[in-house]
Chain A
């Protein structure tokens, strides 16, 4: 079972460049989400989606863009990368996102902005 797949695993960008972090899940989950993890801190929610065509902002949405055209995919776009966006990014999914469902996480993307 693939579960939640994130690509790439590592990426180095220059300030001002744009890129897309890919996330795909094969569990037919309606709910998908993106988090960032910085040293000494827990994961913080960037954006989430409760189904195809529906997205919403989390705690730290600035500088990031998302769309959800299919149930399977939830890409995260960095519009103009900044050093403050250096972090480990996790994508997660659950069946419907309701309070009783644990989220399944991908293995993460380690992103460095120079």
Chain B
């Protein structure tokens, strides 16, 4: 079946540090890939997505590139802020014909210290 594996947290960084949160997936065919974020006290919201190989999703200074050769979709940001503290979830939907819901990783809790 489909699955998503992301790095365990919590990840603690200082403000302005470089961020990488690793995400790899297992799926049949070429899924669409997503990063969702959950800020403290708020619901899940889409951060960025990529729907085909080599696509790069970007938003709010975050980027992730769909790498089919390594089945990865790592999240990066060049300079994190305290306001980026949240839980980040990597997720996928399979290509047409598969189940219709998102398959999520377990989430990575990111803590940014001033």
The answer to whether A and B interact is: no
Contact surface of A with B, Cβ cutoff 8 Å: none
